[in-house]
Structure 1
Amino acid sequence: MSNYYHGAKASKQATSVSTPVVADSSIHLIVGTAPVHTVGGKVNEPVYASNYAEAVAAMGYSDEWDKYDICEEIYSSFKLYSNGPIIMVNVLDPAKHLKGAETVEKTLAGGITELPYEAVSDTVEVKGYDGEDSLTETYTRGEDYDLFYADGVLRLERIESGKIKADNARLNIKFNSVDPSKVTKKEIIGGYDTNTNKSSGFELVDSVYPKYGVIPTLFLAPNFSTDSEVAAIMAAKAENINGLFTGKAIIDADTETVKVYSDVPTWKSKNNITQPSQLVTWPKYTLGGKIYHSSVHQAGVMSKTDATEDLGGGSPCESASNKTIQIDGMALADGTEVLLDLVKTNYLNSNGIITALNLTGSFVSWGNETACYPANTDVTDYFYCVSRMFSWVANSVILSMWSKVDKKLNKRLIESVTQSINIWLNGLMAEEKILGGRVEFLEEENTTADLLAGKAKFHIYLTPPSPAKELDFVLEYDVSYLENIFA
């Protein structure tokens, strides 16, 4: 075809500077148990929820958090801290984790009777008696009776047009119930099943970004993270999300065996919870008569701090330490009250343990250090706000520059990358989210062999602000001011 053209025309060239794709800083991922049998919810699938109603519709809800820890996260994240979205992975399987069939005799009252909340509605079988106490009638759900979960029970209600004729009829009911206590740490850790080609538990972390386009960066397992193996797996997954991204695992120190604050560092060391990717919290927290795992509150206040415009402003640059948490006390697992003053909380902090403090009339999160402290004193590892900023910048750069992969490795590409990142870093510096930052393409870091192989290395220099964890005021008596008496 001829290249001949007669007339005017215009064309558009791609902008050399890319608009940054900013990674989410604090999306929670919780692996645990939920009453999914009440809503037909999913097992071993990551579920995205952006508000309380979505989460409850997907997972069900119960205040028995010792059985259903996902419900604790739902309540804390959405009700107390107004955060979201969250990612939930339920491992309680209503077809597997069962108590065993049982049969009960029930007499309707006003056409209604109740079964335990744990009863699985699909397993319910209802029979009726004739006048000689023989089971002669088999009733059908949807025709003779209906079932629905409400107010912490499974309610059975007769249908007037059905075969159950009396509002006070005597029924023989057989059913099976879920048993959350049968969920083990093995199922929380999860893995990959070669027979079904499906992942489970924390192994599902890598499926979140492909499925929902978000990166979960705060990992929780409230009822199971006290186990050293679970804590180790959580740390490993947080350090390598999709082979690209990084986050933090928030670990609950055991409040059943560790009852004194001074014993927490020993527990932490014994369980080898010493990674920069781990945050350790102790003890449990209370609010309105409910007992919470401290990890869910720590995750909540971190997300709240990140999202607050004059604090994190959408980034994790601000520490959540000394920020208000929604609690009215602290306790052990058995409900025993825990009182900590500044000396005790600072002792915990000095051993890489986050807690709460009430010094000025309200409780705040207290502690800036990751679990690697005090053994590791690299500021990019032990201050969790600095460490999270490095992760956030890295995650954002990867997302922003992914479109450059496999383009021609030439000067124009290098300039486009460096210019785009430097403009973004300058913006972060102007917003005071970092003290300074720049990216360089250094000749000594890019050998001829690497360039021939299509490998380019960009060096990012970054300085997030450290938290002002110690303000020292020196008071001195100044004799010269006595002259003011005669002024």
Structure 2
Amino acid sequence: MSYKRGINVNIVSSETISKDYNNVTIPVYIGLLPVHQLQDYTDRINNPIVVNSFDDVYKTGYSDDWKYTLCEPIYAHFKNDFDVVGPIVLINVLDPSTNQTIEKAINVNFVNGVGKLSGGDIIRDTITISDLVIDEDFKVEYSQDGQTVVITDLSSTLDGDEEVRYKEIDLSGVNEDTIIGKIALDGKRSGIKALPYVYSKLNMIPGLLLCPGYSHLQRVHDEMIYAANNINNHWNAFAYTDLPCDDSINTVDKAIKCKTDRGYTSPVEVTNYPKAYNKGKIYHLSVLRSVVAQKVDKANKFPNDPPSNRVINIQKLVLDNSKDIDIDEIDAKKLNSVGISTAIKFEGSWRTWGVHTSAYTYDTSDSMDPRDMYESSVRVVRHLGNVFQRKFWDKIDKGLNKGIIESIINDFQRDVLDLYVSQGKLLYGTIEFLYDENPASDMLQGDFKFNIDVTGGLVVKSITALLRWTPKGINLLFEGGE
């Protein structure tokens, strides 16, 4: 028997039959931010950053060039055309102090004390002009789209052509290893391995995990699935991943084969294909699904409704190279039947489309754990496990008495399970303390186990009407006649 400490939840196989928890979905995105735009970016590398609105880009930088991959979720959550929803948490892995070019020099023409440099890769704190001092003799700002550097003279010394020296971001050293990250000898974490910092530093529990631009890579994907479980040895999240959308994966059949070959089959993820286009920007469907999920969960205060069949403001589906790809409802059904989510157009609007986890395949669904069929049922169970641990953490290290056991049962039943059942968000929910499953030897060690059974997150996946023609109406022609 292993040593136990604290409060824990083990999610077991489903039973088969013939504080403030309102922020149930905190998306955590891991990738690249243009922090080189900031005056000081030292604490913006491999540390979680909370973003509540587009105005918060002073914490992160922003560029319309989405090679800085975390600019996409910033825009998708806070500048989209249909709804603004947050907060989100970003973990940036780009370090401008190491990912930089050699110094360059260019002549910049200053007019009325203002000079401009085109290019969104210039590292702000490397800009030098003669012996002038940045932020004393001149200031540097980036344009809103992150594509132009504006230098303003503060000392009345800049006029005409002036030599400006600077270094630029070099992304050649950024790869899947950078995104995956590591735990250094001093204990410092980076990349996906920095996910525990979201709770330890922000007191926020990750709800969704995304790595847009990198989750289609096998090793990144696998690390995401591993990292989503037992975060800080307690919390359970859910991953949104993407399949490749290059020329080699340019059809529905190729996408299905790719998913199978790579083993994107976890019950704690939804895999998405292809990408979406709107007004000159290409989005990962995983990111758009995250926006929808957070919106739906925020309204429900519970993750019981899947983020599927929800309107998203896009113009078409595309591949990496912006080439159109046509996916109709028949194609989408084929993708959904093997656990791939996509988007379809219905009644003039584009909608997210897919309710299954990546573990689902129709051909094997009879033999799988029924909980693992649907995203919403998996997320309901994981969310309730997080709630249980948070709610009763203060019971740990208290003196044992019968009242503690009864209070845990009564509080969780009344405040959580019964509440969600009464609101129609759970179909069933009970918590029990079974003495035959808590032997005296365990209780002497201070270890106690509660059994929680829930039914929730089930989905109306299809509705069928049997419509037939009948001659009965002919008789009505003659009712009341001679």
Alignment-derived partner of residue 304 in structure 1:
295
Q: Could you state the TM-score of these two structures normalised by the residue count of structure 2?
A: 0.88
Alignment-derived partner of residue 370 in structure 1:
357
Q: Aligned match of 1:153 in 131, 148, 152?
A: 148
In 1: Cα distance, 2:387 partner to 2:318 partner: 39
Question: Is the Cα–Cα contact under 8 Å of residues 265 and 358 in structure 2 kept in the other structure?
Answer: yes
Alignment-derived partner of residue 240 in structure 1:
230
Alignment-derived partner of residue 135 in structure 1:
none
Instruction: Give, in angstroms, the shift of residue 24 of structure 1.
Output: 3.2
Instruction: Give, in angstroms, the shift of residue 171 of structure 1.
Output: 2.5
Alignment-derived partner of residue 273 in structure 1:
264
In 2: Cα distance, 1:51 partner to 1:104 partner: 35
1:386-440, CA deviations, whole angstroms, 9 ceiling, x for partnerless residues? 1100111111111111122222333222211111111121111110001111111
Alignment-derived partner of residue 261 in structure 1:
252
Matches within 5 A, 1:54-453: 54=56, 56-65=57-66, 67-80=67-80, 81-115=83-117, 116-127=119-130, 138-142=131-135, 144-151=137-144, 152-159=147-154, 161-162=156-157, 164=158, 167-168=159-160, 170-195=161-186, 197-256=187-246, 257-308=248-299, 313-374=300-361, 377-423=368-414, 424-453=416-445
Change (3 A) 1:368 1:484: same
Alignment-derived partner of residue 467 in structure 2:
475
SS in 2 for 1:88: strand
Question: Is the Cα–Cα contact under 8 Å of residues 380 and 457 in structure 2 kept in the other structure?
Answer: no
In 1: Cα distance, 2:428 partner to 2:139 partner: 65
In 2: Cα distance, 1:160 partner to 1:452 partner: 75
Question: Is the Cα–Cα contact under 8 Å of residues 23 and 298 in structure 2 kept in the other structure?
Answer: no
Change (3 A) 1:207 1:139: closer
In 1: Cα distance, 2:379 partner to 2:216 partner: 23
Question: Is the Cα–Cα contact under 8 Å of residues 21 and 399 in structure 1 kept in the other structure?
Answer: no
State the identity as a percent: 30
Question: Is the Cα–Cα contact under 8 Å of residues 21 and 400 in structure 1 kept in the other structure?
Answer: no
> Aligned Cα RMSD in Å?
1.8
1:74 maps to a residue whose letter is I
Alignment-derived partner of residue 450 in structure 2:
458
In 2: Cα distance, 1:435 partner to 1:141 partner: 62
In 1: Cα distance, 2:353 partner to 2:212 partner: 19
Instruction: Give, in angstroms, the shift of residue 22 of structure 1.
Output: 2.8
Gaps of 5+ in 1: 1-19, 128-137
1:271-322, CA deviations, whole angstroms, 9 ceiling, x for partnerless residues? 22111112101111111121111111010111111122xxxx1111011111
Change (3 A) 1:470 1:141: closer
1:250-288, CA deviations, whole angstroms, 9 ceiling, x for partnerless residues? 111111131111111111122221111121011111111
2:95 maps to a residue whose letter is D
1:144-191, CA deviations, whole angstroms, 9 ceiling, x for partnerless residues? 5432222521123344633x4xx32x3233211112343221111111
Count matched residues.
Answer: 447
Question: Is the Cα–Cα contact under 8 Å of residues 24 and 215 in structure 1 kept in the other structure?
Answer: no
Instruction: Give, in angstroms, the shift of residue 347 of structure 1.
Output: 0.5
Gaps of 5+ in 2: 1-18
Instruction: Give, in angstroms, the shift of residue 444 of structure 1.
Output: 2.6
Question: Is the Cα–Cα contact under 8 Å of residues 44 and 201 in structure 1 kept in the other structure?
Answer: yes
SS in 2 for 1:198: coil
In 2: Cα distance, 1:298 partner to 1:264 partner: 18
Question: Is the Cα–Cα contact under 8 Å of residues 28 and 87 in structure 1 kept in the other structure?
Answer: yes
